[in-house]
Amino acid sequence: MKYALLIYGDDSAWVDLPDEERAALRAAEMPKWVALFEELRKADPSVSGSELSGRNTAKVVRVRDGERIVTDGPFAETKEIVGGVFRIELPDLDEAIRLAALIPAAHGSGAIEIRPVVQ
Amino acid sequence: MQYMALIYSDETEWASLSPEQREEIYGRYGALSRAAEEAGVMAGGNELAPTRDATTVRVRADETLVTDGPYAEVKEALGGYFLFECGTIHEALDWAARIPAAEHGAIEVRPVHVNPAEVQL
């Protein structure tokens, strides 16, 4: 079964940091993510992931009566928004739960939503 | 640059459609995918199972907490996404506006973060 692991977290503090501080924080976090990537590749060599840029880069488009309406900011008004997605082929949900718990963002205040992908 | 177009729409509306109506909408999604492929902007996409099939995982104090259901119960839920390879966000918004769900739901467009100096997956 193919799963999408959706990473939810609060990026508001993160996006407001000066570039240098954000880069330093990122560099400090990176080894945890690299270890995760290795674990995910062991489970599925064709795993892929997309990290999304912060909420300040988001735009929302709606089309109503043929007219396009574009607004700035993310769709959800919640503190926690989607920050990235992994796509991974796994034998079952238990394995998806095990790997989701290894994602650094599952710790602290974040959460991982697991959704089967429709084939 | 890659842009993710996140598709938000009311799942109950989709559930209320007839098989013929769903087929018509799938046909429109297929046509959009083909048009994006022909234009060289198609970089991926997935339809997600409905939120009733979601499982949410949190780790607190080294304990894994698993709950059934989505991270947030919302009227308009994330139902899938496209990845478009575009030169600008405006171009990505043009493609996002062609997604059928833009006509009743909303499409959030976000640049995909890539740092060539970092390990990628």
- How confident is the model at residue B92, as a pLDDT? 98
Chain A hits for B46, Cβ within 8 Å? 2, 4, 87, 117-118
Q: What is the CATH number of the domain that holds A8?
A: 3.30.70.1060
- The identity of residue B57, as a single letter, is V
The Cα–Cα gap between B58 and A15 comes to 23
* Domain B2-111 belongs in CATH node 1.10.10.10: no
Contact B105 A30 (CB under 8 A): no
Task: Name which of A110, A118, A109, A105 is nearest A36 in CA terms.
Answer: A105
Contact between B29 and B108 under an 8 Å Cβ cutoff? The reply is: no
The model's pTM is 0.95
Tens digits of residue pLDDT in A79-118:
899 999 999 999 999 999 999 999 999 998 899 999 999 9
Tens digits of residue pLDDT in A32-59:
999 999 999 999 999 999 999 999 999 9
Residue B44: left if φ>0, alpha if ψ -120 to 50, beta else—which one? left
Token pair, residue B91, equals 């171009």
Please give the residue of chain B at the shortest CA–CA distance from A41.
B121
Number of domains in chain A: 1
Q: Mention every residue, 6+ apart, whose C-beta is less than 8 A from residue B99.
A: B5, B7, B29, B32, B82, B107
